[in-house]
Structure formats: structure tokens, C-alpha cells
Amino acid sequence: MQFNELNLNKPILKAISESNYDGPTLVQERSIPLILNKKDIIVSAQTGTGKTAAYALPILQQLFHKQDASKKGKKIGALIISPTRELAIQIGESFQNYSKYTNLRTSVIYGGTSIEPQKDALRKGVDILIATPGRLLDLHKQDEVHLDYIETLVIDEADLMLDMGFIDDVSKIVRLCPEDKQSLLFSATMPHKVVMLANSILKDPERIEISPTSTVAKDVSQVLFYVPKPKKIELCLHLLRNTIKGNIIIFRRTKYGVDKLEKTLLKNKYKVASIHGDKSQNLRQEALKQFKNKEVNILIATDVAARGIDIIGLDSVVNFDLPNVPETYVHRIGRTGRAGKIGTSYSFCSADEKAYVGTIQKLINTQITIENNHPYPLDPKAKPQVHIKQGSKHRKGRKSEASKKNKKRWY
């Protein structure tokens, strides 16, 4: 997705293009349309996911028609509350940046610093106010801040807000804003008390979850190898000889692929077991037992067969085939790097899998390190192999009932 598909106007898009972002991050892609639709949302996303722009951009869009109100006539249309001064300042900088081609005015107020300049700024007229709770209530008491025209209220880092003891202040601020405002709540984690707060503020909210993926990916060192499809087995053997050690799980997409790789590794004297959906439960249990008891150190599996199975704390995960569903990548690599240990994931990408890399990187919000220094590099110009359907020798084409019954599961 591109930013220009998100219904943002030209001055905002111009500012974004100068920030040199490739495209919206996941939290932006999911939040912006909902916010523009006037929905309340509750988002679990950490700093680093692009969450500030996820609310800043639609807020600027929604207030854009007010940009030309005379300075004195300006009324605060959006209020962002932040638990810390540093975050408030950072949010203010983001708003300044994204609004630089509009006449919308942003102001930041926070404690621990002289109050007079903040009063001056408020008197000059503000469209968007970013504030820490204590100073905001202070200025409100002094009749310097008017919250009667708030259209959108954002509570950022809600979990930290509650940990810092701001619950009563936040509740007070919510009550000072109009009843029919839009409310957006962002939190890195979602403990019960945050959910309670959200329930008391948000109306029929949509829930967006981003953070678990980035947390999982954080403790895993991820490496990507571009390699021609027929050379993947050679690359795997090369890495097993030289680089990858310890307890390893190798993921393949199909059961056929699992069987083929298992045969090759056994021939090369590796200690291997495998699981996939066409193996009996007994054989799968036996394979898992061997792996857990360390009789073998390599397990080859399909995603479906490995789902829900307690195999964690691995040294390495090999994505022999890249998954087309990005969440699957996260689940796979999440099996390593637990309990403070840094694990490693090795991903093999052939020409036809290149598109998956982009969607995976977007989901995990991380660029995967590319390793070019290996014996089987992929020509960057290599095109995916196109399989031309030969058609059935039996021209009627339809499968018989008997052949349908024989159809085996591919996973």
C-alpha cells in the first residue's frame, strides 16, 4: 500500500514524501482508514512501529478544513496526552513535520518548565495540543486551555500512563472533553487495567494489535539468503557444515519438500527427524521425542504439522521456503530466541519468493540482514520460473471420484 491510497490530502502527502518513507507501516495502514472513518480505536503498538504518524496524519487530515481560521479564532480540535515530557516533545515534532505545508498550529505543554511561554502559545491559537496530564489540568484550572471543541482525543502510551499513576488525571481530562469526541488509545502492552480504562472511555472500539510481532522479532538475529530454488539444498548443506549449529528446526511448505530434504540430510549423515500431516500420529510423536531427547538435532516440519507443538528454545530456525503469510514467519522464528537467549533465523529466498520479503519486513518492522557472501547467489535479474500448464492427456480434464478420494494433504 502507498500513502496516496489513504485519502490524505496533498500538503500532508508532500510532507510525508519528504520524510522518505517507503510506504505506510502496518499500524498506519490499519489505523488511518478507521480514524478517518471516525471510529474509536484501541491499538497495541510499541514505539518504533510508526504509531505517532498513525494518529497524527488522520488528525491533520480531519482538521485540515480549519487551517485558515484566524489565529485568535482557533480552537483546540485534537488533544494528545502523553505520560512523559520527552514523548510529548517528540510527538510535537512529528506533528510539526507532517503539518509543515498546512496552516494548522501545534503546541506542546508539559511540566517542569516555565508555564508563561506555554500560556502565550495557547493564547495565540492552537489546533492540536500535546500535553502531559498534570500541566494540562493546571492550565485548565487557570482557564488557559479550553477543551470544549475537541474532536479527537489520543491517549498515548496508556500502560505507562497508568504505571505512573495518572489514572485520575486521565479520567478528569476525558470528562473535560465533549461527550461526542473520537477517542484513540495506544498502548505498548494491554494489561487488564488498560483494558478497563479503554472500556470506560472508548465507544464501540476497533482493536488493532501490532506489538507482539515486533517483540518476538527483537530477540532473533535474522539473516536472508537470496538463492536460486534448485540450489537451496546445497546452501542448506553448506550452512549446516559451516555455520548453523545446535538444535535446529527447518520449515518447508510441503510434505513432499520435507521428505526430500530429510532423505538428502540423512544421506549426508545428519541426525534428522521430520513431521508433516501425512505421517501418522505415532510417527510424529516419535519424531518429536527424538528431537526433544536430543537423539537428533534437526527437525524438518511443515507449518501446519508444527502448529501448537511445544518446540521452543531452539538455537536456529531455517526458513527453507519463505511463507506467503507473513504472520507464519513470525511464529516460526518466535520458536527461537526465547528467555533472553538470542536465536538466529536463516531464510532462503528464491526469485518467486521475493515479494514475501517485503510483506514480512513490513509486519516485523525490521529490515532483515541480507547475506550475499555465500556460494550460491541469486542473479538479481533472475525471474520467477513460470510453470506452463501442460493440460491433461485425457482432455476431459475433470478428476474422477476415485482420484479425488486419493487426494493427499499437501501439508
Instruction: State the minimum distance, in angstroms, from the CB of residue 39 to ligand AMP.
Output: 20
Selected range binding ligand AMP among 31-39, 43-51, 214-222, 285-293, rule: CB under 6 A:
43-51
Q: Is 243 in the site for ligand AMP (CB under 6 A)?
A: no
Q: Is 53 in the site for ligand AMP (CB under 6 A)?
A: yes
CB nearer ligand AMP, residue 53 or residue 208: 53
Instruction: State the minimum distance, in angstroms, from the CB of residue 55 to ligand AMP.
Output: 9
CB nearer ligand AMP, residue 16 or residue 109: 16
Q: Is 133 in the site for ligand AMP (CB under 6 A)?
A: no
Instruction: State the minimum distance, in angstroms, from the CB of residue 56 to ligand AMP.
Output: 8
Count of residues near ligand AMP by CB under 6 A: 11
CB nearer ligand AMP, residue 297 or residue 361: 361
Instruction: State the minimum distance, in angstroms, from the CB of residue 167 to ligand AMP.
Output: 23
Selected range binding ligand AMP among 48-56, 129-137, 153-161, 163-171, rule: CB under 6 A:
48-56
Instruction: State the minimum distance, in angstroms, from the CB of residue 365 to ligand AMP.
Output: 9
Which own/partner pairs from 139-146 qualify as long-range (CB within 8 Å, at least 24 positions apart)?
A: 139/109, 139/115, 140/176, 144/119, 145/76, 145/109, 146/75, 146/76
Instruction: State the minimum distance, in angstroms, from the CB of residue 54 to ligand AMP.
Output: 7
Q: Is 49 in the site for ligand AMP (CB under 6 A)?
A: yes
Give the CA distances from residue 263 to residues 274, 280, 291, 300, in Å, rounded to whole numbers and listed in that order. 10, 18, 17, 11
Task: Single out the residue of 51, 232, 284, 332 in contact with ligand AMP (rule: CB under 6 A).
Answer: 51
Q: Is 230 in the site for ligand AMP (CB under 6 A)?
A: no
Q: List binders of ligand AMP among 19-38 (CB under 6 A).
A: 21, 24-25, 28
Q: Is 316 in the site for ligand AMP (CB under 6 A)?
A: no
Strand 316-319 to strand 248-251: parallel, antiparallel, or no bridges (unpaired)?
parallel
Q: Is 358 in the site for ligand AMP (CB under 6 A)?
A: no
Q: At 308, which amino acid appears?
A: G
CB nearer ligand AMP, residue 358 or residue 384: 358
Selected range binding ligand AMP among 45-53, 100-108, 339-347, 388-396, rule: CB under 6 A:
45-53
Instruction: State the minimum distance, in angstroms, from the CB of residue 271 to ligand AMP.
Output: 43
Q: Is 58 in the site for ligand AMP (CB under 6 A)?
A: no
Binding site for ligand AMP (CB under 6 A): 21, 24-25, 28, 47-53
